[in-house]
A and B are shown apart, each in its own frame.
Chain A
Amino acid sequence: GQNIDQPTEMTATEGAIVQINCTYQTSGFNGLFWYQQHAGEAPTFLSYNVLDGLEEKGRFSSFLSRSKGYSYLLLKELQMKDSASYLCAVRDGDSSYKLIFGSGTRLLVRP
């Protein structure tokens, strides 16, 4: 079956670093996405990984290991505005049209 696991909630302190993990088991793989979703708003694109390794974009980085079915999103220099849900999604290799989403990780940044 298709399964994507993320922690439900995490808490971190302003200015710190936090790592949000995502593990997946899917019938195929054609890329992994991270989205940010503030409460009451739409998801917005953060990062895309299709090859193993680290992709860095400002304060946010995303890592992928295809052999381990594992990804993480790293947020540095946390700001209060980073309080949001972070969604991991895998493009199913059997159908490149579709994304399979995890349940999301709600991150609370405290002062």
Chain B
Amino acid sequence: NAGVTQTPKFRVLKTGQSMTLQCAQDMNHEYMYWYRQDPGMGLRLIHYSVGEGTTAKGEVPDGYNVSRLKKQNFLLGLESAAPSQTSVYFCASRLVRGGRANTQYFGPGTRLTVL
């Protein structure tokens, strides 16, 4: 049981380049999330998904797109990277049922630098 995995761990892009960040979970969780974390600003929600084939915008969605074609995978795309997208990106997943199962489980993060 690997939990939540993310690839790549590190990436350096030039302005205008595109890339896809990959996230996979093997816990059969319904909900999945993409966050970015910047110094002094905490975790901010980019996009989320409440089930296979569904996605929704979070707090800071501009410049990003997502897809959830399979329940276990959630992809985050940057079509034309900008320096303002330099950040650490975390993927998370969560069970639907209530109680302690409500906690989100986070992947190890992807450190992205846009030059």
Contacts and interface: CB of A to CB of B under 8 A. Distances in A.
Contacts of A31: 102
Interface of B: 31, 40-45, 48, 50, 58, 90, 100, 102-109
Contacts of A45: 103-105
A91 B43 CA distance: 14
A101 B42 CA distance: 6
A33 B106 contact: no
Contacts of B41: 103
A87 B104 CA distance: 13
Contact of B31 (A41, A87, A97, A101): A97
Given A97-B31, A97-B48, A97-B50, A103 B106 contact: no
Nearest to B31: A97
Interface string A72-111: 0000000000000001010100000111011110000000
Query: Could you tell me the dominant secondary structure of chain B's interface residues?
Result: mixed
Contacts, number: 41
Given A43-B43, A104-B42, A33 B103 contact: yes
Contacts of B104: 45, 99
A31 B100 CA distance: 11
A98 B58 contact: yes
Nearest to A42: B106
Contacts of B42: 4, 87, 101-104
A42 B43 CA distance: 11
Contacts of A89: 43
19 contacts: A4-B42, A33-B103, A41-B108, A41-B109, A42-B106, A42-B107, A42-B109, A43-B106, A44-B106, A45-B103, A48-B100, A48-B102, A87-B42, A87-B43, A89-B43, A97-B31, A97-B48, A98-B48, A103-B40
B103 A48 contact: yes
A41 B6 CA distance: 12
Contact of B43 (A8, A41, A48, A101): A101
Contact of A43 (B31, B50, B90): B90
